[in-house]
Structure 1
């Protein structure tokens, strides 16, 4: 995947601005990555300190190459991160990638993630020329499953990489 972009793409929807992650987002990243409700479906080590959050941000900024788009989700006109959404694991020859997302729990059930995801998927298809987007979710993560179904992802497999708790969804254009 070759972005050929001089600057990181800022995406704007009716209510949201999706922008590049910065060190100023460390408090909210800590909230996201330490929240037990958010982390219960994710196989990752929770952040415990601001330093953990800053180290994560640093790793994302260093990884932003042709292999990762990582946006912070903010309400337009506000700078506070309320969630993140990313495209990763690009397979250029197959015109394929994976999407991931998370949202601070107080912003659930407001249509924020579907609005952000539609914009990112549109960008992936129209600008990057992708044909397939995969998403993997935990079988008990009903809100993620509902979101993917609303976005026209189709359930492919109940078990991913020999993990009976994960489900693979795919969007094909």
Structure 2
């Protein structure tokens, strides 16, 4: 999938589109801010160089069709305010993991709810997924509430081998 045919998703208020190098400052913020990452274990991107390396990694993953990663923008601006992705696809391509983050300035406004609805719909309708999983920290009340509001159910006993603090939710087609 090239830059020319990456699927943009439009919702009532938002436009989800492909990440660009010019988004490096927001990537740096989202991956390095202590509040945003309070419940997430992942490499930071404090510098422009690290942010651009992350963007290049994402771009390569998109081009190799192993992930979908959208920057979230409001329709009236191209400013990135968060991200949402489908990745970690199963070998048979029927299961994927959803991940997301959002600038604290935009939290509590239904933006991630709107984004998650549209991306799960894309996953089931366009990618023909049967199951979408979400790994979230057991103490992340906002994320758990978001997932439950969107029909995700806790998978009792499923462990995240990379983070013992995480619990796993799933949404079936």
TM-score (norm 2): 0.93
How many residues align? The count is 171
Residue 91 of structure 1 corresponds to 90
Contact (CA 8 Å) 1:39, 1:46: kept in 2 or not? no
Q: How much has 1:6 moved relative to structure 2?
A: 6.2
**Residue deviations 1:22-75, cap 9 Å, x none?**
001011111111110111211112221111111111111111122100000000
**Matching residue of 2:40:** 42
* CA deviation vs aligned residue, 1:111-161 (integer Å, no higher than 9, x gap): 000000100011111111111000000011111100000010000135422
Aligned 8 A contact 1:27 1:53 in 2: yes
Measured in 2, the distance between the counterparts of 1:167 and 1:124 equals: 21
Partner of 2:105: 106
Partner of 1:151: 150
- CA separation of 1:172/1:5 partners in 2, compared to 1, >3 Å: closer, same or farther? farther
- How has the CA–CA distance of structure 1 residues 26 and 6 changed in structure 2, closer, same or farther, with 3 Å as cutoff? closer
Correspondent of 1:32 among 4, 27, 30: 30
Does the aligned pair in 2 maintain the 1:156–1:170 contact within 8 Å?
Answer: yes
| Structure 2 unmatched runs, 5+ | none
What is the TM-score with the length of structure 1 in the denominator? Answer: 0.93
CA-based RMSD: 1.8
Is the counterpart of residue 166 in structure 1 residue 166 in structure 2? yes
1:162 offset after TM fit, Å? 7.5
Distance 2:2 2:51 in 1: 29
Question: Does the aligned pair in 1 maintain the 2:8–2:16 contact within 8 Å?
Answer: yes
